[in-house]
Amino acid sequence: MSSEASGIATASPLLTVKNLAKRFGAFQALQSVSFNVRPGEVLGLVGPNGSGKTTCINLITGLYKPDGGAIQYQGRSIGGLPSHRLAHMGINRSFQIPKPFKSLTVRENIEVAVAYGGRGSDTAEIKRLLEFLELDLLTDRLASELTSGQQKMLDLARALATKPALLCVDELGAGLNPNELTHVAQRLRELARSGMALLVVEHLMDFVDQVTDRLIVLSVGKDIFSGPLSQAVQDAQVVEVFLGAPDEH
């Protein structure tokens, strides 16, 4: 184990989720999900469609209220707090489908996020953020004029502008080409090295392998595995419900 990995493993959890549950009418989206995320760690949240991954992030980031279990951030119970309160505390997210203000420029979108997040990014920090995500040449362009990949980067920039300690990323890799995926993976790893905790929902296993330190695998609203991808591919239950059984020819 590297010294960096050892430091992450011994750090106190930033986020702890215990027996998390959520219902939508008669549908039990999450039944009993438990995990934690430490500063500097990239935790992957994976599983088949309908397993509860996005629901889990929506609960952590305040879009839904849990029906059971507990969510603790920095030792404080946050289950049910609204998104704006959580952003001020240091929790933010990107969305699978970006939600920029399309009539505003790239810079204006980020300035709105800074004002909303209330954690004080200044002009120089915004400039560095634009350069970090290679949006610096698009500063004055309207969000509606961006490609889907650029809108994803803007969505990520808006979340980062609020200076989160915990960043939740929902299928950022979907629709990106291989070069864009590599770029995004490098940037997420840089954020982790800075001490940020990341919770990443993703389907693309190559991307998951590049980005994550550890995985939580969900199936029908329950966590069925915790560990690195190298161990997940050897787990019979994970292979059956998510990765698919090997062809027998």
Q: Where are the domains of the chain?
A: 3-90+164-243, 101-163
Mean pLDDT computed over every residue of the chain: 90
Model-level pTM? 0.91
**Segment 130-151 mean pLDDT:** 95
pLDDT cut 90: percent of the chain above it: 74
Q: Give residue for tokens 């920039």.
A: 157
Lowest mean pLDDT among 4-18, 47-61, 145-159: 4-18
Strands of the sheet containing 27-37, edge to edge, are 76-77, 68-73, 15-24, 27-37, 222-227, 214-219, 42-46, 197-201, 166-170, 91-94
Which of the four CATH numbers 1.20.1260.10, 3.40.50.450, 3.40.140.10, 3.40.50.300 does domain 3-90+164-243 have? Answer: 3.40.50.300
The 10 Å Cβ neighbour count of residue 122 is 8
pLDDT for the residue numbered 246: 46
Q: Which residue has the higher pLDDT, 119 or 162?
A: 162
**Segment 64-70 mean pLDDT:** 97
Q: Which residue has the higher pLDDT, 1 or 88?
A: 88
Pick from 10, 57, 70: nearest CA to 29: 57
**Segment 12-26 mean pLDDT:** 96
Q: Is the pLDDT of residue 158 over 60?
A: yes
